[in-house]
Amino acid sequence: MENPVPERLDKAARLRDLGFEPFGRRYESSHTTAEAHELFEKAGEGQQVTCAGRVTGIRDHGKATFFDIRDSSGSIQAYLKQGESPDSAVEIFSCVDLGDFVGLGGEVFKTRTGEVTVMVRSLTPLSKAFLVLPEKWHGLRDPELRFRKRYLDLIANPDVAETFKARTRILRSVRRFLEERGFMEVETPMMQNIAGGATARPFRTHHNALDIDIFLRVAGGELYLKRLLVGGLDKVYELSRVFRNEGIDRQHNPEFTMLEAYQSYADYNVMMELTEQMVASVAEEVCGTTKVKFGDLDLDLASPWPRLSYFDLLKKHAEVRSLEHDELVKRAKALNLEIDPAWDPPALVDELFKETVEPHLTGPLFVVDYPASLCPLAKCKPDQPEIAERFEPYFAGMELGNGYSELNDPVEQERRFREQAARAEKGEEAIDEDFVEALMHGMPPAGGLGIGIDRLVMLLTNSQSIRDVILFPLLRPVSDV
């Protein structure tokens, strides 16, 4: 931890000697800085305002000083002049540094250079900054420091705050879209006895009172949400935190946010329509258009999106003709892909698809009809049992989500669970007998959908790394760096 700057400690002591507390209390603002600008544009000079914010710039001209304060809405210039501003305000400002929080009051006017400004008639110290802010507001350049000290990133780079304001609007828009269509928001457990719902490595922990090992969920509450369909709630959704004990890269963070939605009496076609309509609606509401830029790509998110067959794409880009193990190994070696000898055909074909097909999926589009071996929770096509009714939306070579016609046959579901458990690492996979029992009571035919919220935010804010849209991404401890 950095030590406080001695000169700033001295200024805090001087404020106390003058009878002012350097760390203030409640302060009533009449306007945000943005509202103060709006007030001037509507009513002209002479309007009284009180505003509060962080001091972000000081321009001293002897007996007159201009300074800027910033709040979450923007910034405004203030003007302090000996003989016109109260002596108390002049005394307080002599102890103010860049980064301090102050409250000020006065009338708005426009300077000769045309800048809306507050003539300071009162000044209140609210919080003293004992450390110097980074690079005098020119922004942080070290990405690691930006993520590790996000508060400095937000101070130094105003565009970062705009990204996270957009994230909030995106979540609000998603909720509104689903609720207008009759979906009910629910909550399901994040700590679970069984690491089910996806083929991913879980985080383990131990509950002392119950003396049991439990897992943080690796997917949204899929198996719990489908229990609610059994119970008669026909349309449900959840926005939840998900945890996977796996790698970190541009697209992946061990902790992320997922939307899961389930609709009774639907199938994967219904859920594809819901997906493309939702993404287009959110883009229109948040960005003002369905045409967005992502890196060098210009994407139009308006529905409908193309639907491309998983097998057709694999044949085209990997030249795979069958899903036999030997054929998959042969193709992987021909393409110089690193493969694990222990991988079974589902793992091999998934790796081939990721390496050879995904880079070509500019999108937005749906990849549809996956190998059934990759989809233990999806219903298969009636006339093609080797193909599952599954889809994944893509943009810029990145998977945005996943959806199925949900399997509701309990006997078939139990068989697939046992098959999946046999392939999994010992202790990583168990059969959710309670879920199978719930299906035994009857679950209506249904469609399900999962959307990675962080990737949706990446898409709609033109952010190239998932760490740019998560306020506090997981990082190594400083001592390990």
* Res 141: pLDDT: 67
To the nearest whole percent, how much of the chain has pLDDT over 70?
Answer: 95
* Amino acid 247: pLDDT: 85
| pLDDT at position 439 over 50 | yes
pLDDT band for position 429 (cuts 50, 70, 90): low
- pLDDT exceeds cutoff 80 at 422: no
Does residue 193 surpass a pLDDT of 90?
no
Residue 137 confidence (pLDDT) above 50: no
Alpha helices in 181-320 (DSSP H): 222-230, 268-287, 310-318
pLDDT-wise least confident of 48-62, 132-146, 191-205, 257-271: 132-146
Asked if residue 173 has pLDDT above 70, the reply is yes
Q: Provide the pLDDT for residue 222.
A: 92
- Tell whether the model's pLDDT for residue 138 goes beyond 90: no
Residues 157 and 146: their CA atoms lie apart, in Å, by 10
Please say whether the beta carbons of 220 and 243 come within 8 A.
Answer: no
Higher pLDDT, 144 or 44: 44
pLDDT for position 194: 81
Determine the average pLDDT of the residues in 198-215: 88
State the average pLDDT over residues 3-10.
Answer: 94
- Residues 6+ positions from 207 with CB-CB distance below 8 Å: 191, 213, 214
Listed as own residue / partner, the contacts of 230-233 with beta carbons closer than 8 Å and 24 or more positions apart are 230/438, 230/439, 230/441, 230/442, 230/443, 233/184, 233/186
CATH architecture of 6-132: Beta Barrel (2.40)
User: Which pLDDT score, from 0 to 100, does residue 23 have?
Assistant: 96
Phi first, then psi, for residue 209 (nearest 5°) are: -65, -40
pLDDT of residue 136: 47
| CA angle at 122 for the pair 121 and 126, rounded to the nearest 5° | 150
Contact call for residues 376 and 357 (beta carbons, < 8 A): no
Q: What is the pLDDT of residues 369-413, one digit of tens each?
A: 999 988 999 999 999 999 999 999 999 999 999 999 999 999 999
Among 98-112, 234-248, 329-343, the range scoring the smallest mean pLDDT is 329-343
Please report the pLDDT score of residue 426 as a whole number: 47
pLDDT of residue 430: 67
Cα end-to-end span (Å), the chain: 15
Query: What CA–CA distances, in Å, run from 155 to 58, 133, 134, 136, 339?
Result: 16, 8, 9, 10, 45
pLDDT class for 337, splitting at 50, 70, 90?
confident
Question: What distance in Å separates the CA atoms of residue 478 and residue 148, rounded to the nearest whole number?
Answer: 9
Instruction: Tell me: pLDDT of 235 over 50.
Output: yes
Does pLDDT of 362 surpass 50? Answer: yes
Q: Is the pLDDT score of 428 beyond 60?
A: no
- Model confidence at 135: pLDDT above 50: yes
* 331/21: higher pLDDT: 21
Q: Which of 232, 210, 5 lies closest to 100 in space, CA to CA?
A: 5
What pTM, to 2 d.p., does this model score? 0.91
Superfamily classification of domain 154-306+363-480: Bira Bifunctional Protein; Domain 2 (3.30.930.10)
Mean pLDDT of the chain: 92
pLDDT at position 53 is 98
Domain ranges of the chain: 6-132, 154-306+363-480
